[in-house]
Structure 1
Amino acid sequence: MNVTLIGIAGGSGSGKSTFTNRLKSYFQDDISIVYHDNYYRRQDNTTYEQRVKVNYDHPDALETELLIQHLKALKQGQDIYCPVYDFVDHNRSNETVLVKSKPVILVEGIMLFENDELRDMFDMKIYVDSDADERILRRILRDVEQRGRDLNSVITQYLNTVKPMHALYVEPTRQMADVVINSGMNDVAFDVVCNYIKKILNEANL
């Protein structure tokens, strides 16, 4: 089985999850998804207070080497057990999630295109772009409602690490994308990617 990897990157709160979820909703179990966020490194020997201060927007915070290993296995038709990250506890949980090898696998993450080896694995690279004000507002809502954060901690993290790391490691990868879209709700881009995936799935079923 030929496996096509589609990378969906963009800044925190850009709308990449919205775009990814729309594709997953459309194709259901015909495709698989891997989230780079689940590959944040384990920090079992640190206190919660120490973990809160970690720069999670630097490439070193992610175990990208494990993601690459898993994607290579998926490309070879092997299923993998993906780690699960607990954003409330700021640490990787003891759970894993089975990700099945499918003809099309979406990979979503902020810094997918920052790593040369990882970037070269993708057959299609999509960058979801959006205004910085929109990104911080979406991040505040997400972190407060879904991750148990308070407003001050979200703002402090954004100013100290998210914003400067975005400029340093995320924004420059925009030019490396095959497709740049301005919103996760861009219907024209959605149709283009859907047609690309449909073609692959049709060929896989021949």
Structure 2
Amino acid sequence: VILIGIAGPSGCGKTTYAKHLSQYLGSPIPLMSLDNFFTKPIYIDHPILGRIKSLEQPETLNISGFMSSLHQIKREWARTPFDQLNPVAEKSNPIYIVVEGFLLFALSNDVTSMFDIRIFLDSTQTRCRMQRFRRDTRVDPALSDSQVRITTKFSQWFDNLVWAEYLQRRALQIANAEKVFKPEEYQNNNYAILDAYIGQRLRETF
């Protein structure tokens, strides 16, 4: 089993790429997301936003459960709950499991070391804010970014909480990644560069 980790800020497009990569590699599961291991939000006293609910800290995640799932997949993938999605997959062939999460390489050294390939999708605050707003408010996909007006309340929340928390752990995540991709290398769902890198790593190492 080869675990491929994809990290990056909220709104960078990592989930979309992870889904693509899972399909591209013929993974027996569509995707494993760190979001599935959220437990509950915590309340923090923010210096700008006041008393607010947050999902941006590691404390909101069931990290031990996440680790257990990774170990279970590594040991005996056919017995994991995910395998029922593709019961006819061949065990003799390499099994590629794609995992994505916004804190993926900032949880612990034990978690980071689980991944055979670790890539980080870098992005800009402006781009991530727009994509997160479009997703959270279900903006009509037919509208271009120039036609979308992000509310002041959303911008304040995203900039002062989501992005600020991301920046606190950005350097650590980049240091733990083996390869960092800039937004111009994968934007508009053009994944040729990313796919080529993954393919080369798999051929050379596995």
Aligned to 1:86: none
Q: Does 1:38 align with 2:36?
A: yes
Q: Give the Cα–Cα distance (whole angstroms) in 1 for the partners of residues 84 and 172 of structure 2.
A: 32
Aligned to 1:120: 113
RMSD: 3.0
61-70 or 169-178, larger mean C-alpha shift: 169-178
Structure 2 gaps, min length 5: 42-50, 140-149
Residues 25/103 of structure 1: CA separation in 2 closer, same or farther (3 Å cut): closer
**One-letter amino acid matched to 1:141:** R
Contact 1:39–1:66 (Cα < 8 Å) also in 2: yes
TM-score by length of structure 2 reads 0.72
Per-residue deviation, 1:26: 1.9
Contact 2:19–2:31 (Cα < 8 Å) also in 1: no
Residues 198/32 of structure 1: CA separation in 2 closer, same or farther (3 Å cut): farther
Q: Provide, for residues 81-104 of structure 1, a one-character-per-residue CA deviation record: whole Å limited to 9, x for no partner.
A: 47xxxxxxxxxxxxxx96779711
Contact 2:122–2:180 (Cα < 8 Å) also in 1: yes
Q: How many residues align?
A: 174
Q: Does 1:66 align with 2:59?
A: no
The aligned runs of 1:1-206 (5 Å cut-off) are 3-30=1-28, 33-42=31-40, 53-78=52-77, 79-81=79-81, 103-115=95-107, 116-145=109-138, 151=151, 154-183=154-183, 184=186, 185-197=190-202
Q: Secondary structure at the match of 1:112?
A: coil
Contact 1:9–1:126 (Cα < 8 Å) also in 2: yes
Q: Give the Cα–Cα distance (whole angstroms) in 2 for the partners of residues 6 and 130 of structure 1.
A: 20
**Where does structure 1 differ by over 6 angstroms across 4 or more consecutive aligned residues?**
99-102
Structure with greater Cα Rg:
2
164-173 or 98-107, larger mean C-alpha shift: 98-107
Q: Secondary structure at the match of 2:102?
A: coil
Q: Secondary structure at the match of 1:145?
A: coil
**One-letter amino acid matched to 1:104:** Y
Q: Give the Cα–Cα distance (whole angstroms) in 1 for the partners of residues 124 and 27 of structure 2.
A: 32
Q: Give the Cα–Cα distance (whole angstroms) in 2 for the partners of residues 162 and 28 of structure 1.
A: 33
Q: Provide, for residues 20-51 of structure 1, a one-character-per-residue CA deviation record: whole Å limited to 9, x for no partner.
A: 122123234456521001110047xxxxxxxx
Per-residue deviation, 1:14: 1.2
Q: Give the Cα–Cα distance (whole angstroms) in 1 for the partners of residues 171 and 137 of structure 2.
A: 25
Q: Secondary structure at the match of 1:77?
A: helix
TM-score by length of structure 1 reads 0.72
Residues 99/42 of structure 1: CA separation in 2 closer, same or farther (3 Å cut): farther
